[in-house]
């Protein structure tokens, strides 16, 4: 597989397409009982601002900038909102005041935050040892970065997660859909089908539950993020996983040399900040939603992307080759898991435990 970096933080429509023409969703399907808890968290659509006196035309301007919820208004600085064409400082201030009144802008108790963290889901990697290392799997409400040399399973991990995110919660899944932004042309539907068969899932339905887009440059990659946010907002609580494989490939191509390094890092920082907000916005901090973002990078000893990616990623995983077909994953950085290692393999059915 390509030796780069994937970000794992959801039809032909402006670049995003579903993998399968079929629209029937029979298996796996989102369990309404599992969704009940998500309904306790408020995702307030941006259209609610019209009830507070904001014009529909201004709502469309906010959407054009990727702001689809009231919480997103809170997360966006006044400075950036003033850059949206047609929004004056006075109008931005009014929108901000309304958003703060609807969502609250002060402190909460640690107990309240613990209740929010209880909504975090963990999506199985397909390997029990790998999951144990992560405390149960890839977490929502965060960005997980995986880096390593070629053939260590970065892209295979991304494919496996696209399937396991659709498993029921009790089976270590997310009981939802996945979104995949491919910057290197390494996504393979046939791999998804093979992994789905391993988990006894209908491969056609699994494919239909994945939306896919190919990014050919860094600007298109940024545009696709705005589009995928609109999908998340249209179907709140449905998407559990966003994969970007790889996060930095197009930036390294579009910005070359030391003279453009600063601009590249600034653009990359904007993208990562948006991804971080998305992971919290859609339980991503509020709903058991598509929160697990996966990022993959190339150097096995030191991840690329500098401090920008280092500070944005919640959990960083170092992947390397082991004996024979074995692969080794190590916790490189994590706020809640100790530094440790686990061994796994890449099989026809994706990431799995070693057979030896």
Three-state SS for 337?
coil
pLDDT tens per residue across span 89-113: 999 999 999 999 888 777 889 998 8
The segment(s) of the chain belonging to CATH 3.40.50.300 are 6-34+119-352
CA 195 to chain CA centroid, Å, is: 20
Of 258 and 136, more confident: 136
Using CA atoms, how far apart are residues 37 and 33, in angstroms rounded to an integer? 8
Using CA atoms, how far apart are residues 115 and 177, in angstroms rounded to an integer? 24
CB-based contacts of 299, cutoff 8 Å, min separation 6: 147, 149
Can the peptide bond before residue 246 be classed as cis, meaning omega within 30 degrees of 0?
Answer: yes
Using CA atoms, how far apart are residues 244 and 250, in angstroms rounded to an integer? 11
Burial of residue 196 (number of CB atoms within 10 Å: 0-12, 13-18, 19+): buried
Q: What is the pLDDT of residue 34?
A: 45
Of 326 and 35, more confident: 326
The segment(s) of the chain belonging to CATH 1.10.150.20 are 46-103
pLDDT tens per residue across span 68-85: 999 899 989 999 999 999
Q: Please give the DSSP secondary-structure letter assigned to residue 213.
A: E
Q: What homologous superfamily is domain 46-103 in, according to CATH? A: 5' to 3' exonuclease, C-terminal subdomain (1.10.150.20)
pLDDT tens per residue across span 20-43: 433 333 455 444 444 444 334 567
Using 50, 70 and 90 to split pLDDT, how confident is the model at 303? low
Q: Average of pLDDT values for 318-343? A: 90
6-34+119-352 CATH choice from 3.40.50.300, 3.10.20.740, 1.25.40.10, 3.30.479.10: 3.40.50.300
Using 50, 70 and 90 to split pLDDT, how confident is the model at 201? very high
CB-based contacts of 97, cutoff 8 Å, min separation 6: none
Measured in degrees and rounded to the nearest 5, phi and psi for residue 44 equal: -95, 115
Of 298 and 133, more confident: 133
C-alpha pair distances (Å), 273 with each of 42, 82, 115, 344 = 22, 18, 24, 31
């Amino acid at each position: 597989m390509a030796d780069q970096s994937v970000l794992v933080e959801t039809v032909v429509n402006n670049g995003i397409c579903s993998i399968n023409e079929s629209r029937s969703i029979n298996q796996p399907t989102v369990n309404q009982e599992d969704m009940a808890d998500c309904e306790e968290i408020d995702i307030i659509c941006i259209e609610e601002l019209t009830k507070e006196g904001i014009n529909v035309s201004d709502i469309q301007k906010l959407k054009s900038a990727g702001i689809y919820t009231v919480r997103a208004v809170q997360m966006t600085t006044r400075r950036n909102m003033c850059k949206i064409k047609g929004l004056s400082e006075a109008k931005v201030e009014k929108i901000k005041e309304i958003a703060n009144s609807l969502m609250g802008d002060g402190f909460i108790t640690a107990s309240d935050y613990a209740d929010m963290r209880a909504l975090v889901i963990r999506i199985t990697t397909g390997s029990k040892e790998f999951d144990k290392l992560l405390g149960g799997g890839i977490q929502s409400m965060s960005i997980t970065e995986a880096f390593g040399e070629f053939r260590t399973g970065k892209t295979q991990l991304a494919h496996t997660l696209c399937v396991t995110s659709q498993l029921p919660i009790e089976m270590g899944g997310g009981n939802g859909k996945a979104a995949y932004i491919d910057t290197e042309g390494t996504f393979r539907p046939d791999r998804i089908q093979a992994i789905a068969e391993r988990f006894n899932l209908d491969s056609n339905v699994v494919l239909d539950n994945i939306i896919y887009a190919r990014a050919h440059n860094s600007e298109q990659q940024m545009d696709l993020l705005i589009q995928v946010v609109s999908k998340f907002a249209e179907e709140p609580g449905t998407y559990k996983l966003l994969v970007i494989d790889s996060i930095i490939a197009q930036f390294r191509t579009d910005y070359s040399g030391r003279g453009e390094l600063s601009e590249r890092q600034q653009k990359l920082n904007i993208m990562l900040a948006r991804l971080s907000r998305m992971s919290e916005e859609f339980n991503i901090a509020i709903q058991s939603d598509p929160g697990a973002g996966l990022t993959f990078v190339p150097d096995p000893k030191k991840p690329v992307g500098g401090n920008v990616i280092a500070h944005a990623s919640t959990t960083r995983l170092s992947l390397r080759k082991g004996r024979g077909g074995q692969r080794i994953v190590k916790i490189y950085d994590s706020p809640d898991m100790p530094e440790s290692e686990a061994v796994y393999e890449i099989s026809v059915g994706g990431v799995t435990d070693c057979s030896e």
